[in-house]
Chain A
Amino acid sequence: AQKVTQAQTEISVVEKEDVTLDCVYETRDTTYYLFWYKQPPSGELVFLIRRNSFDEQNEISGRYSWNFQKSTSSFNFTITASQVVDSAVYFCALSDYFYNQGGKLIFGQGTELSVKP
Chain B
Amino acid sequence: NAGVTQTPKFQVLKTGQSMTLQCAQDMNHNSMYWYRQDPGMGLRLIYYSASEGTTDKGEVPNGYNVSRLNKREFSLRLESAAPSQTSVYFCASSPPVQPQHFGDGTRLSIL
How many angstroms between the C-alpha atoms of A47 and B30 in the bound complex?
19
Q: Choose among B33, B44, B59, B102 the residue that contacts A102 (Cβ–Cβ < 8 A).
A: B33
- Interface size class of chain B, counting residues whose CB lies under 8 Å from the partner chain: 20 to 34
Nearest B-chain residue to A107, judged by Cβ: B42
Residues of B within 8 A of A93 (CB): 43
CA distance A99 to B102 in the complex (A): 20
B32 to chain A, nearest CB (A): 8
Q: A105-B35, A107-B42 are in contact. List 12 more A-B contacts (CB 8 A).
A: A43-B105, A44-B105, A45-B43, A50-B99, A101-B50, A102-B30, A102-B56, A103-B94, A103-B96, A105-B43, A105-B45, A109-B41
Known A35-B99, A99-B96, A102-B48: A44·B43 in contact at CB below 8 Å = no
Q: How many residues of A are counted as interface, with CB atoms below 8 angstroms from the partner's CB atoms?
A: 26
> Is A97 touching B45 in the complex (CB atoms < 8 A)?
no
From 40 to 73 in chain A, residues with beta carbon under 8 angstroms from any chain B beta carbon are 43-45, 47, 50
